[in-house]
Amino acid sequence: MRLYDFEVKDRNGNPVSMKEYEGKVLLIVNTATGCGLTPQYEGLEALYQNYKDQGFEILDFPCNQFGNQAPGNNEEIHSFCQLTYHTSFPRFSKINVNGDDADPLYQFLKKQKGSILGSGIKWNFTKFLIDRQGNVIGRFEPTTEPKKIEVKIKGLL
């Protein structure tokens, strides 16, 4: 399977083919609104504003698996992110990233790039960097600030 073979759900539950993002550099992130790392939304939005016109997209997948730090429904999460951090990048339906019911996209991403501690996602704000051909180029742990990924993003654009 390739990245572009997957289908995800937008925040309204509608299917979205990953083919829509073919040819773009992607940063795929599992997020939470009540996490100590939630302020990373500011850095993510700054990257998005700087590079969206060059073919860069951030795909935001809220996840409530880590300390129940993404409470609320999809619309509540979306409103919080827009009002608090002024985010404008695509946000999808809440998913699980670990376990038997992990979203198939995340199963794929974890197989492509494990971490030092194994393939499982350790916490909110784990980031996967994808090149224009759909290859998973890098995996960044939750504590990696978005700004620290900027050089790699620029190199792929």
Amino acid at 156: L
Over residues 21-26, mean pLDDT:
98
Neighbours of 156 (CB within 10 A): 20
pLDDT at 105 over 90: yes
Model confidence over 25-77: pLDDT tens digits? Answer: 999 999 999 888 999 999 999 999 999 999 999 999 999 998 888 888 989 99
Neighbours of 31 (CB within 10 A): 27
Q: Say what the pLDDT of residue 89 is.
A: 97
For 121, the token pair is 């996602």
**Residue 139 forms beta bridges with which residues?**
128
C-alpha to C-alpha distance for 144 and 14, rounded to whole angstroms: 31
pTM of the model: 0.95
Active site residues: 35
Go through the chain and tell me how many residues it has. Answer: 157
Domain spanning 3-156: which superfamily? Glutaredoxin (3.40.30.10)
Per the listing, tokens 């376990």 go with 99
For 141, the token pair is 């742990």
